[in-house]
Chains A and B, each alone.
Chain A
Amino acid sequence: MKLEILRALNEERAARRAVVVVTVVESGEQRLVKTADVARDPLKDLIEAHVRSGKSGMEETPQGRVFLTVHVPPTRLVITGAVHISQALAPIAKLLGYDVTIVDPRTAFATPERFPDVNLIAEWPDVALPPLGIDHYTAFVALTHDPKIDDPALLHALSRDCFYIGALGSRKTHGRRLDRLKEQGADAGALARIHAPVGLNIGAVSPPEIAVAIMGQITEKLRKAETKLAETKAAEIKPAETIMAEAKAS
């Protein structure tokens, strides 16, 4: 590997951008494909699939066998709400390799006793979130049920292109939330990205079960191609307007 490629590779990794090294096995020829350049690469589809799965691997191509070394940033989970569900969600997410941060300005909730070994920030989202550098490799979940805390955090997560955004609350609660966020200037397309009611529909009842449902949905969003998601979810995903209309009618 040329030092030049290694240097560029480390630069991309430090900036938390996905990057792939393509090595042609026969010739030993190597190239670095940055996220921004994937669309123009002759191996576009293969590279996209590998980036999505986060797995390196050997592939047969018209140019011969190539080895794709995939580097994706470690995923993070940011949660608003140092609540009962978060107490289960944080360790589950850690087990799955996520860096977990919990934000809750209510100091009665955000205590180290309740959340050992978790990055806990007892601040309002407008103070706590910007320095975290939330990005596409971050999942965000709003769990406080308090609009003063969840709403600004959701707007921040939307503006940072989080790969997953979820918010606790019934359809009715979510309908009202969408109204508020719209008033604050969020567009319907962006709002449709919020998963609410949060989590996979597995009939979860207890806080740890809800945590499992949330983590399952985050994993699905991380690993499944958009097209496949669309196929399986076509019936479930509704435009924000529909959700709001339904909520008002109910």
Chain B
Amino acid sequence: MLATDQDILDAAESWRKTGRGVALATVIETWGSAPRPVGSNLVIDEEGNFLGSVSGGCVEGAVVTEALDVIESGKPKTLEFGVADETAWKVGLSCGGTIRVLVEKID
């Protein structure tokens, strides 16, 4: 079943309530064409399970990795992805846009 935004935030709350470490990633800025609008959410738990999306699947892997760090440290991070990025060949947006993603721990 397709996860709606409501499902994603409900999952974040219920995962946290069961004692799991949880991070919330939110698209906070986009330039050019971006696959998901500002405000889109991805929720990640400490084991790397995730729900939702911040792109068309292009950068979710990298966001999940960073989210594990954020869960560990408790410090929020802002990530930027785009074709201009030197890691573009690994994690970049095929559509040519740039997105900025805030990753924060639920605590």
Q: Which residues of A contact B (CB under 8 A)?
A: 1-3, 6-7, 9-10, 13-14, 23, 25, 28, 55-58, 67, 69-71
Contacts and interface: CB of A to CB of B under 8 A. Distances in A.
Given A13-B6, A67-B28, A67-B102, A55 B13 contact: no
Contact of A57 (B16, B24, B38, B102): B38
Interface of B: 5-6, 9-10, 12-13, 16-17, 24, 26, 28-29, 37-39, 76, 102, 104-107
A134 B28 CA distance: 32
12 contacts: A3-B13, A3-B16, A3-B107, A10-B6, A10-B9, A13-B9, A25-B28, A56-B26, A57-B38, A57-B39, A67-B28, A69-B26
Give the most central of A1, A7, A70: most B CB within 10 Å: A1
Closest 7 CB pairs of A and B: A56-B39, A56-B38, A67-B28, A6-B13, A69-B39, A57-B38, A10-B13
Contacts of B17: 3
Q: Is the interface of B mostly helix, strand, loop or mixed?
A: mixed
B29 A58 contact: yes
A1 B107 CA distance: 6
Contact of B107 (A2, A7, A57, A69): A2
Contact of A9 (B9, B76, B107): B9
Contact of A56 (B37, B105, B107): B37
B5 A71 contact: yes
Contacts of B38: 55-58
A10 B10 contact: yes
Given A13-B6, A56-B38, 12 more contacts: A1-B24, A3-B17, A3-B107, A6-B13, A9-B9, A10-B9, A58-B29, A58-B38, A67-B26, A67-B28, A67-B102, A69-B39
A56 B39 CA distance: 5
B39 to A, nearest CB: 3
Contacts of B105: 1
A69 B37 CA distance: 11
Nearest to B75: A28
Contacts of A71: 5
B63 to A, nearest CB: 16
A71 B5 CA distance: 9
A55 B5 CA distance: 14
Contact of A1 (B6, B29, B104): B104
Given A28-B76, A58-B29, A67-B102, A7 B13 contact: yes
Nearest to A9: B9
Contacts of B37: 55-56
B106 A6 contact: yes
A188 B43 CA distance: 49
Contacts of A7: 13
